[in-house]
Structure formats: structure tokens, C-alpha cells
Structure 1
Amino acid sequence: MHGEFTTLGIKIAPSTVWEILKQAGHEPAPERVSTTWADFLRSPADALPACDFIETITVNGRRQYTLAIIEHTGRRIRVLGITAHPTASWVVQAVKNLVMDVEQAGCRARYLIRDRDAKFPALIDEILSEAGIQTVLTGIRMPRMNAIMERWVQSCRRELLDRCLIWNERHLRHALREYERFYNRHRAHQALGQAAPLRTVPDPITDPEQIIDLNIRRRDRLGGILHEYSHPA
């Protein structure tokens, strides 16, 4: 809520939001705990990406696997691909596409964090190494070592996948494309000072008359599962 107010240029203290929610009987969200591993992840590299698979079961009972990558510094998420059969060749091609995108963007990523999922073939480490990117493996059953990626997976499930029925792969692609755009361009991030990866925080509204007479419009995405609030153009 505090993030949405900030996005609209309305300056309000987080404690005020907390008081409003408390009076309404809503408990605060669980606190995010930082660790020494998270401190390590704040490396001097311009971009420190991490990747992971997220599994989804569609209405027809088929399992779909989504490979996504997130940048630690800017929190930008990219969905690299969706498939029902995450074969070694499919994963290798997705990583090759990623390397080409990194080179074209002039990114200076030095590490890529991933878990020890068997869906990742050993060949991808060689591909990344040739591009100057070292693979960092997390410990066994230690999701905290890939905390930022795991947090995105939880956000994606809580805000999207657990709130709608995914019919098939095509529907999943559409839903994740919309969520990727929403996450990168609108959704407020506490770690970014309520900015979004591809959106800065607007200047706060200082005119009292504008605060009193606000005209806020809501744009619904995916049938109302996602909401975007903005001032009229």
C-alpha cells in the first residue's frame, strides 16, 4: 500500500499505513531477514543475476516449467522460456540466448547464481564461462542462498499463479508476459525505495489542492488479478 501511494506521488509515512492496517485488523507482512550470504550477493558487479525454475500445473494436468532470471541490483525479471519438457538442449539454448542478450546489452555480469537442480546440464557452465560468467551453486536445500530469486518465485505464485486457473502453455505464456511487464514497470519494490526496475519514483505532490481532489485511475490486467494505479494522462 505504501508503495502504491509513492507511485502516485502521494507522500505518506510507512507508520501511517501500518496504523491504518492495524485499525482495520490486518497483521503486518512477515519481516524479510537479511543474511551474510545476502551481503555477499551485493558484489561490485554491475549486474548479479540469479536463475531458477518455477513449476506450474495447468488445468489439463500438464506440468509446465518456467525458467526465469532476476538481476540483483535492479530487480529486473526476465522469463527466459516455458516448456513442458525442460530437456538439456532446451536449457542450453535458453542460456545461449541469455548470453547473447547480456553481450548486446553491454552487461558486466561476473556471476550467475543457481541451485543444483538436475534440469541444469553441465554444459551451461561452460557456455557461461566462455562469456566470462562464473556459476555459483547454492547449497543443498538452502534456498536462502538464492533468496532474491526465491522471493520472486513466491511473489509470482502469491500474486498470479495461485489466483488464477492456467489452462495451457499458451495461457501461461500470456499470464507471465503480463506479470513480467507489471513487475518491471509498475510494481513498487521496497529494496528500490518504492521504485520499479524500469520506473523511477515520481516527485511527491506538494499542492494541497491536488491531494484533496485526487483523480486516480485503475487499470486491470489479466481480468483484474493485477491492478495498476495512475493519474489520468
Structure 2
Amino acid sequence: MWEILKQAGVDPAPDWASTTWADFLRSQADALLACDFIETITLNGQRPYILAVIEPATRRVRVLGTTAHPSPSWVAQAIRNLVMDLDDAGRRARFLIRDRDGKFPALMDEILAGAGIKTVLTGTRMPRMNSIMKRWVQLCRRELLDRCLVWNEHHLRHALREYEHLYNHHRAHQALDQAAPLRTVPDPITDPEQIIDLNIRRQDRLGGVLREYSHAA
């Protein structure tokens, strides 16, 4: 092999054609999606599963649904709805990162492949390969699920809709220079009088579990 490379004028460096996982994420950020399941428990004893997808480049989150029985047909329909939503939004994704959870059926990968999206599996016991999605799961638990008494699955869906709206439209992200996924950074206040007398309004969601702050018009 070394002789062949030498005759072709190619230096047989050990990593001359390798691509690291970090390089892949940076180069394909605009074309990436990542998904995961979250398990929680309600006050009536149910153990619903939440399926969510995030766009690593924009940090936008889509909660695809909740169910106590994540059957292959349910997951497949949730992915079909995602594909239609992406198409309506003009979003073109090429890869979807997920772990090797048995709740993800083979039909899911077929549906994604039909939409031009390749499934990329993370390594076994390597959650950092899906770190952005895992970080959102931790935020959802810390900011919502661990602070809210969820009565049943219907109440859980309502709470998740409220949190999804807050996360996408109001929650500032350091990775986005304090913008939100669906909101740009507001114009800075330069008038000294406005800086001295700031009029901030608070809007409570879910009885104050979630709070939004904004400048009064």
C-alpha cells in the first residue's frame, strides 16, 4: 500500500482523509436535525413519552407529540408530520441524528430517506454525539417537567405547547447571541431616559411556572 501511494505522489499520512464528528457537525449544521424521546410521569400514574426534534443551527424545537404507547405506527406518523412541516416551512434537511433506542422503527428511517434525509446513529452510550438535543431535554426537565405537576397526558400536551412557544420565541440563547430561534435580537435602547425608566412587563404561563419579559410598548 505504501509503495502504491508513493508512486501516486500521495503522502500516506494517517489522517489525510479523516473527518471528525465535530467537523461533520460544523460543516453540516444548517442541514442537521436531531431527535430524542423523553419519558415522564403524570399524577394519574401514566408514563407518557415525548418525541421532540431540534434544529442544531437555529435551536428551533418541534414537539412532535406525546403517547403512553410509542408504537412503530405512532412514531412513523409523527415523522410524516415532521416531513410535511419541514416542507411547508421550506426547510431542507439532509441528516437526522438519533440514538439506537428501540422505539425508533425501521419505517421511520424509510420515511426520512424518501424525503432525502439520511439517519445518522450515535455511538453506543455516547450521548455527547447528540449533545444539543440532550441539552434541550435537560432544559425541558429542569424548567418545566420538574417544576410542574402534570395531571394527565392532555395537560402534558398543553404544558409542552406553552414551553415550545417560550423556547422558540422568547428564551434567549447564548449560541445565537441572545436571540431566540424564531426571534431576532431586539434593538438596543440608546435613549438615556428610557434606560433610567425601563417599563418591563411580565406575562405568566402555566400559572407562573413559565414567565416572559418584554418592554412595554
**TM more than 0.5:** yes
Q: Deviation digits for residues 161-207 of structure 1, max 9, x if unmatched?
A: 00011110010000000000000000000000000001111111111
Match of 1:83 in 2: 67
Q: 1:188 aligns with which of 172, 177, 181?
A: 172
Give 1:1-233 correspondences, 5 Å limit. Answer: 37-44=21-28, 46-233=30-217
Any idea what SS the aligned residue of 2:66 has? strand
Matches of 1:158 and 1:90 in 2, distance apart? Answer: 27
In 2, Cα distance between equivalents of 1:43 and 1:108: 15
Q: Secondary structure at the match of 1:179?
A: helix
- Give the C-alpha shift of residue 37 in structure 1: 3.2
The two structures, once aligned, show a CA RMSD in angstroms of: 1.2
Q: Percent identity?
A: 79
What residue number does 1:30 align with? none
**Cα distance change on mapping 1:39 and 1:179 into 2, 3 Å:** farther
Give the length in aligned residue pairs.
Answer: 198
Please list every run of at least 4 consecutive aligned residues from structure 1 whose deviation after the TM superposition is greater than 4 angstroms.
none
Check the 8 A contact 2:55/2:61 in 1, yes or no.
yes
CA distance in 1 between partners of 2:22 and 2:197 (Å): 43
Query: Structure 2, unaligned stretches of length 5 or more?
Result: 1-19
Contact 2:29 2:56 in 1 (8 A): no
Q: Which amino acid aligns with 2:196?
A: I
* TM-score normalised by the chain length of structure 2: 0.88
1 or 2 for the larger relative contact order (CA 8 Å, sep ≥6)? 1
Aligned match of 2:11? none
Q: Which runs of 5+ in 1 are unaligned?
A: 1-35
Secondary structure of 1:42 counterpart: helix
TM-score (normalised: structure 1) = 0.82
Q: Whose Rg is larger? A: 2
Bigger mean CA deviation after superposition, 73-82 or 101-110? 101-110
- Alpha-carbon distance, 1:45 to partner: 5.7
